[in-house]
Amino acid sequence: MDDISKDCHILAGEANEQTERIGLLGIYATEQTIGEGRKDVAATDLHSVDQPISPKLLLYQATRSLKSIRSFLYQIGPRRMIRRSRSKVQPFAEETEEALQVTFDQALQATKQSGASPHRSNEIGPRMRRQSSRTVAFYRKAALLGDTAAMYKLGMILLYGLLGEMKDPQEALNWLKRAAERADRENPHALHELGLLYESPNSQLVDHNPAHAKALIMQAAHLGYTKSQHKIGQCFEYGDLTCPVDPRRSIAWYTKAAQKGDPEAELALSGWYLTGSEGLLKQSDSKAYLWARRAANKGLSKAEYAVGYYAEVGIGIKQDVDFAERWYKRAAAQGNKRAMNRLKEIKQTRSQRSRSWRPTHRDAKDECIIC
């Protein structure tokens, strides 16, 4: 076998290994990228030595069967030998691998950035939403290839029976544990979910173990996961999961999460500023209002109620019942019962043309406004 034949043989093997990886990209293909990739197929001379293979072309190929992908790679692999220099041959696989790596990493990163709920259907392309079983199959393949994010997503799909899959709690637990073992700053989610399972006293999947739950969630919090940081702040505020009541650590963890834009943590800080903490945090109506407003602007119904309450009473903002009513209506639209009750009270007050009971600053401190 001559050198060129040997190189062609190696290329064919490389193409075969790339087949599964390109197939995984089908999870992320959108109608737009599919259409653009189809145009690239028509515009690309697959036999040309100098014309590169575009990532969109790869995405288009990824929506086809694995057999078609393998056929595509075998077709172009042996023919695209580029930059022959003396006895060295740089095969097409090098340029394709570079494009593939960029495309794959960008697609995968897009799902990792939505750590709160990575199993949402809006993280995958429209074709995949119509082919739930295929989506799950690709997640399974990615998980088997060692992708931590896919392990977590597959675990969540099987745990809650998402995307039309039957629930399989035991397999879900196995995948979540495997993802937790590989947890890093980009993939801390499985640690948090496992912690919640161990926290639940009614879980039939694992034994109730608050100390272990705390350890898992704390690990995720140290990796920067905002949900876990908020949860740990909550534990130190109320003494949950074997944590002592410690306002200093509670405020510190809430602050870490709030600085990253977590609305639950922002609302929790609002509560701390409303009451203050002796020798630790000075009470501030204005900061209580501002933190609640930040969370409300993100659509958190509890925060919308809190902003309405602050406006009605005049905490950190000039008293304005009309402004309060608008926020109560926003919260009520999301099913917040306390907001619904306050709207009824305001309506009764106006119909009677008399001052009925209205909450005061003292009531705000005595009642859990942010709950």
- 90 bridge partner residues: 82
pLDDT at 80: 41
Contact 286, 275 (CB under 8 A): no
pTM over 0.75? The answer is no
State how far Cα 232 lies from the chain centre: 19
User: Which single residue is written with the structure tokens 């690709």?
Assistant: 138
Q: What is the pLDDT of residue 97?
A: 45
The architecture (CATH level 2) of 261-371 comes to: Alpha Horseshoe (1.25)
Q: Per residue, what are the HEC states of the chain?
A: CCHHHHHHHHHHHHHHHHHHHHHHHHHCCCHHHHHHHHHHHHHCCCCCCCCCCCHHHHHHHHCCCHHHHHHHHHHHHHHCEEEEECCEEEEHHHHHHHHHHHHHHHHHHHHHCCCCCCCCHHHCCHHHHCCHHHHHHHHHHHHHCCCHHHHHHHHHHHHHCCCCCCCCHHHHHHHHHHHHHCCCCCCCHHHHHHHHHHHCCCCCCCCCCHHHHHHHHHHHHHCCCHHHHHHHHHHHHHCCCCCCCCHHHHHHHHHHHHHCCCHHHHHHHHHHHHHCECCCECCCHHHHHHHHHHHHHCCCHHHHHHHHHHHHHCCCCCCCHHHHHHHHHHHHCCCCHHHHHHHHHHHHHHHHCCCCCCCCHHHHHHCCCCC
Q: List the domain boundaries for the chain.
A: 3-112, 261-371
Using one digit for the tens of pLDDT, what is the confidence trace for 31-85?
A: 555 566 667 666 666 555 455 556 566 656 655 555 565 555 555 544 443 333 3
pLDDT along the chain (371 residues), means of 10: 42 47 52 63 60 59 56 50 35 43 45 38 40 75 87 91 88 96 95 96 94 98 97 97 97 97 96 94 96 96 96 95 95 94 89 57 60 64
State the Cα torsion 155-157-161-167 to the nearest 10°. Answer: -30
Q: Which residue has the tokens 């002592």?
A: 244
- 187 vs 94: CA distance, rounded Å: 29
Specify the pLDDT at position 82: 35
Question: How far, in Å, CA of 78 to CA of 64, rounded?
Answer: 21
